[in-house]
Amino acid sequence: CEEELCTSSKSGGSVCNKSSNGHHNKYGKEINTKYAQYENAIKKAQEEYENCDETKCNCHAGVISADLKRFKAGISKSMIQNVKSKGTKYQIINNRLYREKSCMFPARCIGIEHFLLQLLPKLPDMDLIINTRDWPQIAKNYGPFGPVFSFSKTSDYYDIMYPAWAFWEGGPAISLYPRGIGRWDQHRNELGKKSNETKWVDKSNLAFFRGSRTSAERDPLVLLSREFPELIDAQYTKNQAWKSEADTLHAQPATEISFKDHCNYKFLFNFRGVAASFRFKHVLLCKSLVFHVGNDWQEFFYSSLKPWVHYVPVKSNASRDELKILIEFFLENENLAKKIAENGFKMVWNNLKMKDVTCYWSKLLKRYAKLLQYQVTRDQDLIEISN
């Protein structure tokens, strides 16, 4: 609606006309402008979207090319040496796997080795530096340069992304998953079943988030939820670093909620944590509409998910008003919400099976090994890892 909707009345208040969308007052004008933007963005993204090739984990293959591009001139032994301290050293020699004796996060190493061991019979010889920290290691603008594998990065890093350990083991431990979130195969089955059983109409009309304060980008939604509990239920839980209510933004820590129970809500928020948060793939399997905040932090499968097609993109600096208008838009346009929710589900269900994760590891390592310009020789400091 282009018209000015409100005029000042003699008493000093505002007199507002009803807009074409049925919204009143000045806020209504902002709503109408935003609604038109969302409608256009959805229409454009969905018209332009082309399905990816769903065979042999090809939907994600572009990421391998992009990550290895910086190494296309080849990888020398000295480059590996340069970055040795940035991760855990592994070797594959004659189809056997070797690793440094100690691993900073043993459960994470198990989560990585699960995939490497399966693939061993088909892998060529190679040296690998695998970073098990959350944070990427090879900044574009400073520090040493060489190939380091990390689970997540932003465009400021040259790290090569690999499928996180947590697809199998070593994810964050919470009370509901005391051994850590892992076993993506089991979560997939449980969430697939739950989302098929839960009809859209039976889901609660709320926007939902549960998690700890690993990033302050989560604050605006949590604060908005306190103001509009009938629209949003976003609360902070404790994590291991919790000391006082200051760490849950001056409120009591909320009870943790299982992934399955997230599917009871129509709108689910995903935020970055320290790096990318593991919850993105889980919430996408709910057949709820996923609001993904920020797009800096990536995992290997993120680029196959398109904004407005598979999820709703939200700027990391979105104001509270913007967040509110966005949620209200989808409450009033449930058919659009359902369609995007369905698309997001399908992308993850079809292209992020355990088989696709293994396939990605395999493609990645074979292409990486081709870049090595030297003969890999056994490092006697490493120990053999076997099943």
Active site residues: 134
The tokens for 145 are 């340069």
User: CB nearest ligand UDP: which residue?
Assistant: 273
State the minimum distance, in angstroms, from the CB of residue 256 to ligand UDP: 3
Check residue 310 and report its DSSP letter. T
Residue with Cβ nearer ligand UDP (82 or 131): 131
The tokens for 56 are 């042999």
Task: Give the count of alpha carbons within 13 A of 374, CB side only.
Answer: 11
Q: 32-36 — which CB contacts under 8 Å span 24+ positions?
A: 32/1, 34/322, 34/325, 34/326, 34/329, 35/325, 35/329
Compute the distance between CA of residue 167 and CA of residue 360 in angstroms, rounded to an integer: 12
State the minimum distance, in angstroms, from the CB of residue 215 to ligand UDP: 7
Compute the distance between CA of residue 290 and CA of residue 227 in angstroms, rounded to an integer: 21
Tell the residue number behind the tokens 């902070």, with chain if given. 236
What residues line the site for ligand UDP (CB under 6 A)?
172, 174, 181, 210-212, 214, 237, 239, 256-257, 259, 273-274, 277-279
State the minimum distance, in angstroms, from the CB of residue 291 to ligand UDP: 14
Check residue 112 and report its DSSP letter. H
State the minimum distance, in angstroms, from the CB of residue 146 to ligand UDP: 28
Residue with Cβ nearer ligand UDP (38 or 311): 311
Residue with Cβ nearer ligand UDP (35 or 271): 271
Residues 6+ apart with CB under 8 A from 175: 256
State the minimum distance, in angstroms, from the CB of residue 277 to ligand UDP: 3
Beta bridge partners of 160: 149
Tell the residue number behind the tokens 């966005």, with chain if given. 326
Residue with Cβ nearer ligand UDP (82 or 277): 277
Residue with Cβ nearer ligand UDP (147 or 163): 163
Compute the distance between CA of residue 49 and CA of residue 104 in angstroms, rounded to an integer: 42
State the minimum distance, in angstroms, from the CB of residue 238 to ligand UDP: 9
Compute the distance between CA of residue 214 and CA of residue 217 in angstroms, rounded to an integer: 9
Residue with Cβ nearer ligand UDP (237 or 295): 237
For the chain, the maximum distance between any two Cα atoms, rounded to a whole number of angstroms, is 88
Please report which residue ranges of 198-255 form alpha helices under DSSP H. Answer: 219-227
Tell the residue number behind the tokens 């465009």, with chain if given. 155
